[in-house]
């Protein structure tokens, strides 16, 4: 860092010359001048000595300040000096290690081949760097990151070694913690999903002839109620005890927690007793758990499979376990379901349909709205349209909403699907207005999820503004089941706000739900849609006839319009006309058609007759 002591000093040589002259010069004045020159040389030499002492002291202070340990050895690797950090890390003082070979401090973890490579690299390149294990004064071992440099003299001969090392014990501990977190469930200490994949793969690779793997995926039924009643802390304690009991039951097997209240069990066996084994698990786990003075008996749903019969890869087995568990949950919970190939066949098409539906929503190219006319019973005049959603799949052709709407609800796609219908219906309405077709308001069906997620109002306002359509031309149909869905909250104020904006409101599929008639009286409504299930058997079915008459009488009392859907025969039409129904819709009058077919038929006819009544659009028609 600093220059070493040097004789290349002009004042020093002048002083030496002055010393010589002071002896031989005869004149006293000249001698005095020579002596003054000697003084200048001595002063310069003293300044250099002081500077070197200061540099040495600064170097020692720098070594004392660093947190890395430093060792200086001679050519024979005997320790000459160490810094204070060395003493802090190892516990040895400089007096205890001076003269000892530096390799004597290393832990006996390294073999002879390691040190041979160490010296070969150090002598060949002049430096070495890597991880090494050493021992402290009290005998405990610790890892360090070591950097060694070989120092040579002016002739190129080895003179010293300098060791610089860092204690990486804390770093290693953090690595172990991260590895534990990555492979271990923090609550129960059991292997997590990632580790279970590895363990299952290892057991599959080491299966011997005649051996199989029994695998079970266990879900605790109603665990949310435990958390709600006893608190999350007690719920966590229950999960820990559940995992411990399960591990004690499966000696020699693997028990892990996938997350939440799902646990997995893996055992290697030579016996063909899979169902008996699952039953024994359920029996053992059905014993009560004592928790905070409560005796809890748990319901369990189990999906299971067996390898290699049901698969030879961990990913495949995980998928089939989850398929079996899902089927068990769907069929009522609290029982076991072993994987069958039929389950895989059943679930795979649904997964494909969901993926294709996501693609259709992203591109918007496969979804269509078909429109079915609504008519007055008195004169058969057209009063509106009902838009019905269709999906024209590029491979499977036209897919009915009955097949894909439940999947959309299950996989969180209803909000996107409902927003697409809003925009498409408004776009069609705007186009028909530009073409001069009669303005017939379009009704859209609103699902419970749209009401719950709170995006309905913003989607409506944005669509109306974008397409320039007045709010009264877009009605909202609420299915009767929405009235009972707690997630939608108090629906009456929201419907009233939408009506104030100009949107007419109707109850769709009326009569198929269980809504209170008293609650119905308080709702801001314009229309009831009488479900087709009550129309199909008219006029011969006395029960359906009585229901239809009752609904029509109630609607007159509440000052509501009624439209009967699904009218397909003249006998049905005549009965409804006699009963006082004003509006109808069904195949007897018109079948659903795409918008371009309606436009092609309407426009050449000029201006078709029609009143300014309502048209309906629904997602799941």
**Tens digits of per-residue pLDDT, 129-152?**
999 999 998 888 999 999 999 999
Q: Residue 301 pLDDT more than 60?
A: yes
- The confidence score (pLDDT) of residue 617 equals 38
Judged by DSSP in three states, 143 sits in strand
Q: Checking DSSP bridges between strand 367-376 and strand 593-594, what pairing results, if any?
A: antiparallel
Calculate ∠ Cα 246-310-193, nearest 5°: 45
**Residues 55-92: pLDDT tens digits?**
666 656 666 668 889 999 999 999 998 988 899 899 99
- pLDDT on residue 14: 58
Instruction: Flag whether pLDDT at 180 surpasses 60.
Output: yes
- Secondary structure element (H or E) that encloses residue 80, with its range: strand 79-82
pLDDT of residue 604: 63
Exposure pattern of 89-102 as b/e (b: 16+ CB <10 Å)? Answer: bbebeeeebeeeeb
pLDDT of residue 453: 65
Would you say residue 271 has pLDDT above 50? yes
Q: What is the pLDDT of residue 172?
A: 79
* Average pLDDT estimate for 395-419: 82
Contact between 145 and 172 under an 8 Å Cβ cutoff? The reply is no
pLDDT score recorded for residue 399:
84
Q: Please say if the pLDDT value at position 442 is more than 60.
A: yes
List of residues 6+ apart from 451 with CB closer than 8 A: 478, 482, 485, 487, 488, 489, 491, 494
pTM: 0.51
Q: Provide the H-helix boundaries in 66-138.
A: 84-90, 94-97, 112-125
Q: Is the pLDDT of residue 401 over 80?
A: yes
Q: Which residue has the higher pLDDT, 469 or 169?
A: 469
How far apart, in whole angstroms, are the C-alpha atoms of residue 304 and residue 64? 64
Q: Render pLDDT for 497-544 as a digit per residue (tens, 0 to 9).
A: 889 999 988 888 776 655 556 667 778 888 888 888 899 889 988 998
Distance CA 58, CA 56 (A): 5
Structural Rg of the chain based on CA atoms: 44
What percentage of the chain has pLDDT greater than the value 70? 81
CB 107 within 8 A of CB 128: no
**Cis omega (within 30 of 0) on the bond before 539?**
yes
Distance in angstroms between the alpha carbons of the first and the last residue of the chain: 86
Taking 90 as the threshold, does the pLDDT of residue 423 lie above it? Answer: yes
pLDDT tens per residue across span 477-498: 887 666 655 555 567 888 888 8
pLDDT of residue 168: 87
On the question of pLDDT at 615 being above 60, the answer is no
**Count of CB atoms situated within 10 Å of the CB of 347:** 16
| Residues contacting 23, CB < 8 A, separation 6+ | none
Instruction: Give the mean pLDDT of the chain.
Output: 82
Q: What angle do CA 70, 73, 79 make, to 5 degrees?
A: 85
Contacts of residue 368, Cβ cutoff 8 Å, sequence gap at least 6: 389, 390, 391, 392, 594
Of 260-264, 269-273, 461-465, 521-525, the poorest mean pLDDT is in 521-525
Cβ(593)–Cβ(390) below 8 Å: no
Using CA atoms of 147, 151, 156, 159 in order, give the dihedral in degrees to the nearest 10: -130
Distance from chain centroid for Cα 100 = 57
Q: How confident is the model at residue 179 (pLDDT cuts 50, 70, 90)?
A: low
* Long-range contacts, stretch 72-79, CB < 8 angstroms, 24+ apart: 72/160, 72/161, 72/162, 72/163, 73/102, 73/160, 73/161, 73/162, 73/163, 74/159, 74/160, 74/161, 75/157, 75/158, 75/159, 75/160, 75/161, 76/101, 77/101, 77/102, 77/103, 77/161, 78/102
71, burial (CB in 10 Å: exposed 0-12, middle 13-18, buried 19+)? buried
Taking the C-alpha atoms of residue 32 and residue 615, their distance in angstroms, rounded to an integer, is 126
Q: Residue 306: its pLDDT value, please?
A: 94
Say yes or no to pLDDT of 346 above 70.
no
Per-residue pLDDT, 607 = 45
Q: What angle do CA 239, 241, 245 make, to 5 degrees?
A: 120
Does pLDDT of 39 surpass 80?
no
Tell me: pLDDT of 452 over 90.
no
pLDDT at 7 over 80: no
Q: Which of 396, 395, 389, 386 is nearest to 361 (CA)?
A: 389
State residue 327's pLDDT score.
83
Q: What is the DSSP string of 1-15?
A: --PPP-S--HHHHHH
Which of residues 341 and 137 earns the better pLDDT score?
137
* Mean pLDDT of the 173-177 span: 72
Q: What is the DSSP letter of 34?
A: H
Q: What is the pLDDT of residue 340?
A: 80
**Predicted confidence band of residue 342 (pLDDT cuts 50, 70, 90):** low
**CB 586 within 8 Å of CB 568:** yes
Contacts (Cβ under 8 Å, ≥6 apart) of 3 = none
Q: Cα angle at 260 between 257 and 264, to 5 degrees?
A: 30
Residue 585, pLDDT > 80, answer yes
Is residue 106 over pLDDT 50?
yes
Contact call for residues 377 and 582 (beta carbons, < 8 A): yes
What are 348-393's pLDDT values in tens digits? 556 678 888 888 888 878 999 998 888 899 888 888 888 889 999 8
Measure the CA angle with vertex 276, ends 271 and 277; round to 5°: 70
- Residues contacting residue 135 through CB under 8 Å, at least 6 positions apart: 90, 105, 106, 107, 141, 142
**Beta carbons of 302 and 328 less than 8 angstroms apart:** yes
**For the chain, what percent of residues have pLDDT higher than 90?**
33
Q: What is the pLDDT of residue 293?
A: 78
Among 221, 214, 268, 211, smallest CA distance to 242 is for 221
Cα separation of 248 and 152, whole Å?
64
């Amino acid at each position: 860092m600093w220059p070493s002591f040097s004789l290349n000093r002009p004042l020093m040589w002048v002083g030496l010359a002055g010393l010589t002259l002071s002896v031989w010069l005869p004149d006293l004045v000249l001698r005095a001048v020579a002596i003054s020159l000697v003084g200048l040389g001595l002063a310069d030499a003293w300044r250099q000595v002081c500077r070197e002492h200061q540099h040495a002291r600064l170097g020692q202070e720098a070594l004392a300040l660093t947190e890395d340990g430093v060792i200086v050895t001679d050519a024979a690797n005997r320790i000459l000096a160490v810094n204070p950090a060395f003493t802090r890390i190892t516990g040895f003082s400089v007096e205890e290690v001076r003269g000892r070979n530096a390799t004597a401090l290393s832990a006996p973890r390294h073999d002879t081949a390691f040190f041979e490579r160490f010296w070969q690299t150090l002598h060949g390149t002049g430096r070495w760097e890597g991880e090494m294990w050493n021992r402290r004064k009290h005998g405990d071992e610790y890892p360090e990151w070591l950097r060694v440099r070989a120092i040579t003299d002016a002739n190129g001969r080895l003179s010293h070694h300098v060791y610089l090392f860092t204690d990486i014990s804390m770093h290693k501990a953090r690595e172990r913690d991260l590895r534990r977190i990555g492979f271990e469930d923090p609550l129960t200490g059991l292997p997590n999903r990632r580790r279970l994949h590895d363990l299952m793969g290892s057991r599959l690779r080491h299966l011997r002839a005649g051996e199989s793997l029994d695998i079970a995926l266990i879900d605790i039924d109603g665990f949310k109620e435990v958390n709600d009643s006893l608190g999350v802390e007690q719920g966590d304690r229950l999960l820990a005890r559940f995992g411990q009991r399960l591990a004690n039951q499966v000696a020699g097997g693997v028990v892990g927690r996938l997350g939440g209240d799902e646990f997995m069990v893996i055992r290697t066996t030579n016996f063909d007793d899979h169902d008996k084994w699952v039953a024994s698990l359920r029996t053992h786990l059905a014993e009560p758990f004592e928790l905070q003075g409560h005796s809890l008996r748990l319901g369990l749903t189990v999906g299971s499979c067996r390898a290699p019969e049901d698969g030879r890869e961990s990913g495949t087995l995980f998928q089939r376990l989850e398929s079996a568990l899902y089927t068990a949950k769907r069929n009522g919970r609290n029982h076991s379901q072993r994987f069958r190939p039929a389950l895989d066949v059943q679930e795979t098409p649904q997964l494909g349909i969901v993926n294709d539906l996501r693609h259709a929503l992203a591109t918007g190219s496969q979804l269509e709205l078909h429109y079915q006319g609504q008519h007055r019973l008195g004169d058969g005049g057209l009063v509106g349209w009902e838009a019905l959603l269709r999906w024209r799949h590029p491979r499977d052709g036209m897919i009915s909403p009955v097949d894909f709407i439940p999947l959309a609800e299950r996989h969180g796609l209803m909000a996107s699907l409902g927003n697409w219908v809003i925009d498409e219906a408004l776009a069609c309405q705007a186009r028909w207005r530009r073409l001069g077709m009669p303005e017939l308001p379009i009704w859209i069906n609103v699902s419970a999820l749209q009401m719950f997620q709170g995006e309905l109002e913003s989607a409506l306002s944005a669509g109306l503004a974008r397409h320039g359509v007045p709010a009264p031309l877009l009605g909202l149909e609420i299915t009767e089941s929405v009235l009972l869905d707690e997630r939608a909250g108090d629906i009456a104020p929201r419907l009233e706000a939408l009506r104030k904006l100009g949107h007419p409101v109707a109850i769709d599929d009326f009569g198929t739900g269980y809504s209170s008639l008293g609650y119905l009286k308080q709702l801001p409504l314009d229309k009831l849609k009488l479900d087709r299930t009550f129309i199909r058997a008219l006029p011969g079915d006395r029960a359906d006839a009585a229901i239809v008459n009752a609904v029509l009488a109630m609607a007159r009392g509440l000052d509501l319009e009624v439209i009967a859907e699904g009218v397909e025969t003249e006998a049905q039409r005549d009965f409804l006309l006699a009963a006082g129904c004003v509006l109808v819709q069904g195949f007897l009058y018109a079948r659903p058609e795409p918008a371009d077919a309606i436009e092609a038929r309407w426009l050449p006819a000029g201006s078709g007759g029609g009143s300014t009544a309502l048209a309906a659009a629904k997602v799941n028609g």
